[in-house]
Each structure stands twice: as C-alpha cells, then as structure tokens.
Amino acid sequence: MASMIEIELKKLRNIWNFLPPKPDFIIVGEMHGSQQNAPLIEKFAQALLTQAPHITIAFEWTISDTEFDVIRNYIHEGTVPEKLPIFFLDSDGRVTCEHFDLLKWIRSYNMEHDGSIDICAFDTSLDNGDSEQMLANALLSSKARNPGALFLVETGNMHARNVVYTSNDEECVPMAAILKETNSVFSVFVKYLAGKVLVEGTP
C-alpha cells in the first residue's frame, strides 16, 4: 500500500493544472531543517520539467559568489568541489544532508538533458541581512539574467507569502508579495503532519 506521502507526491504530476499560464516564480514555503524539503524540491522539478524546457532552482543560501560558482560548475558537469561553503555546514537548516543528494540529481539530470537545470542562491549578502526586499531583488536579478527560465524557489514559509499581512500592528510585505508586483507568482506551502526539525540546534 502506498504511503500518504507517496500519494501526495503523485499529485505533483498534475501541477500544471493548477499553475497560472507561464508562471515566473513557483515558490515553495518550507520549515528550515526538515529532511523532506530537498526531496520535495526534486519532485517539483521533475513535474515542472515535463513541460518547461529549462528551470532554475533558487535556494535561500548565504554563500559568496566564488563559493557559488564552484557549486554551479559542479551541477553543470564540473569537478566535485574540494571544499564546501561554510554555510553548508552551519546553515540554520537551509541546507540538509538531503540537499547534497539533490545537487547530485541535478548534475545527473543535466548530463542527460543538456544542462536543463540551473541554480541560483538569493541570500548572498553575507551580512546577516535578510530583508524581504533584498531577497526579492536577488531573485529578480537572477531572473533578468535568465528571463526564459521558470524559477522554482525554496525558501522559508514566511518569505513565500504572496500577500501583505499585519504582524504586531506592523505591515509586512513578504518577498513573494514583492515579486508578485511585476511577475507571475505561485506560492506552495509544505504541510508537515508530524515530526521534529532542528533549527540552529534547537528542536
């Protein structure tokens, strides 16, 4: 008998039935540290690639341009990195062991499909700044460099909200809402039925 997770993932095969025509950004809002996040991104990518010839998977990673270039080179049939970015080893849950398997899968897919998947990192300030506008600007810059690609974005669920909301009597404009001002945005939120995650070492 198929598990509930397997049944839910099968629904991704029909994701194009739910998307707006020619979406620019599909944003997956998750809880950092869950081991299910990276496998889910892979399933999303597989479903999207049935009709999109090229996609860019965007990660909320804080790494330097030099570090990122090494990772990007790897997924485009380059050499295995000799040294991992420090962020990969202490990432507050935004990178898990499963993300290494995801990068391996992207590399394998690209070898068979002429580099159909690109990646980008959109929290590269290295100054602990995480303003919604900064995150949105980084994604918009990446989109401008690759306008024909569909962007699949993995990010925290607060950034994935595509409407303005109020918190403690203060108006909050999330990253996805900023992107929605000029682009077609579709946000998906991962629902966790049970379990634990570690965020910066705290359950």
Residue-wise pLDDT for 101-149, tens only, equals 999 999 999 999 999 999 999 996 666 556 999 999 999 999 999 998 9
State the pTM of this model: 0.90
The SS3 call for residue 196 is coil
- Tell me, what amino acid is at 52? A
The SS3 call for residue 188 is strand
**CA–CA distance, 78 with 13 (Å, rounded to integer):** 30
Residue-wise pLDDT for 60-91, tens only, equals 999 999 999 999 999 999 999 999 999 998 87
Say how many CA atoms lie within 13 Å of 48 toward its Cβ: 26
